[in-house]
Amino acid sequence: MTSAHWSEYRLHRRVQFYELDPAGIVHFSWFFRYMEEAEHALWREAGLSIAPPGAEVAFPRVSAAFDYHQPLRFEEEFEVHIRVVAIAQKTIRYACLVTRAGARIATGTLTIACVSRRPNEPMKAVPIPAEIASRFAAAASADLEA
Contact set with its own copies (CB under 8 A): 16-18, 20-25, 27-30, 32-33, 36-37, 40, 44, 49-51, 53-54, 58, 60-68, 71, 73-75, 117, 119-120, 123
Taking the least distance from each CB to its own copies, the nearer of 67 and 143 is 67
Between the alpha carbon of residue 31 and those of residues 1, 12, 66, the distances in Å are 37, 13, 8
Instruction: Please name the residues in contact with 22: beta carbons below 8 A apart, sequence gap of 6 or more.
Output: none
Concatenate the DSSP letters of all residues of 115-128 into one string. EE--TTS--EE-PP
- What's the min distance (Å) between Cβ of 15 and its own copies? 10
Taking the least distance from each CB to its own copies, the nearer of 68 and 133 is 68
Query: Is 130 strand, coil or helix?
Result: helix
- What's the min distance (Å) between Cβ of 1 and its own copies? 26
Taking the least distance from each CB to its own copies, the nearer of 7 and 111 is 111
Taking residue 22's Cβ as centre, other Cβ atoms within 10 Å add up to 6
What does DSSP assign to residue 84?
E
- What's the min distance (Å) between Cβ of 36 and its own copies? 6
